[in-house]
Amino acid sequence: MRFDIVTIFPAMFDGPLSSSIIGRAREKGLLEINVHDLRKWTYDKHHVTDDYPYGGGAGMVMKVEPFASAVEELKTQNPGAKVALMTPGGKLFNQRMAQDFSSLPGLIILCGRYEGVDERVSGLFCDMEVSIGDYVLTGGEIPAMVMLDCVARLVPGVVGEEASIVHESHSDSLLEHPHYTRPAEFRDARVPEVLLNGDHKKIEAWRREEAIKKTASVRPDLLAKAVLTEKERVMAGDFMEKARRRDGDERA
């Protein structure tokens, strides 16, 4: 899969894209990641990418022309690529979106800055606006890294043991079950006995229950999208009620 990232701070991506799973996948040719300096598509001698907002107000707005030229050129290189603008006002990024993106031939990611990006960039040249959360960062570079990392690891072959991504948090709208490794006991805290007995059917049942318990306690909003049996929904309701009581006791 090919990623093209357009930014005015390309050096921010040097470390994250050369390390760990992403770095190895690039070396193997499983991922093609190109980071482009938006200034390449400016045509004035100072390579200006922003200007004062029409109507007045604080801050600067990123110009439409450089982004337009960037998208048009990159689309000729990878016509099937979709274009995403990283912005706090975009659709909230989630695991299902990442799975959809991972099947694309390419993704062109535009990183905004300052007060925002001229609305015509989104209206004329983007397929979607994407946000990674309900907060504001200094620019779209870190959100772009987050989205790229999430999508890239779903590309076949990028994660060595592909079974490990099947049961990850959010893959089925549930948080992941707890994990343990050696030693079996540490400072009086023992690994649950069920994980030590070798009964894989019981282990899977325990992991499922723990995933539901954690989701109900920490992110109950996810349960509306989870596929649960009637028995599991009753279980989730019990866990949510216990969490509400616990939170009430802590506030008191």
Q: Above pLDDT 70, what percent of the chain? A: 95
Is residue 45 over pLDDT 80? yes
Q: Which two tokens stand for residue 135?
A: 């907060």
Q: What is the pTM of this model?
A: 0.85
- Average pLDDT of the segment spanning 37-45: 96
Q: How many residues does the chain have?
A: 252
Q: What is the pLDDT of residue 62?
A: 96
Task: Note whether 109 and 12 are within 8 A (CB).
Answer: no
Whole-angstrom Cα distance, residue 154 to residue 165? 8
Is residue 79 over pLDDT 90? yes
- Average pLDDT of the segment spanning 214-227: 92
Task: Tell the CATH superfamily of the 2-152 domain.
Answer: SPOUT methyltransferase, trefoil knot domain (3.40.1280.10)
b/e map of 194-211 (b: 16 or more CB within 10 Å)?
A: ebeeeeeeebeebbbebb
List the chain domain ranges: 2-152, 185-251
The three-state secondary structure class of 217 is helix
Is residue 94 over pLDDT 50? yes
Distance of CA 33 to the CA centre of its chain: 16
132: confidence class by pLDDT, cuts 50, 70, 90: very high
**CATH code linked to domain 185-251:** 1.10.1270.20
- Average pLDDT of the segment spanning 125-129: 98
**Mean pLDDT score of the chain:** 93
Note the pLDDT tens digit of each residue in 156-209: 999 976 545 555 555 678 999 999 999 999 999 999 999 999 999 999 999 999
Is residue 227 over pLDDT 70? yes
Q: What is the pLDDT of residue 163?
A: 46
Using H for helix, E for strand and C for coil, what is the string for 64-120? HHHHHHHHHHHHHHCCCCEEEEEEEEEEECCHHHHHHHHCCCEEEEEECECCCECHH
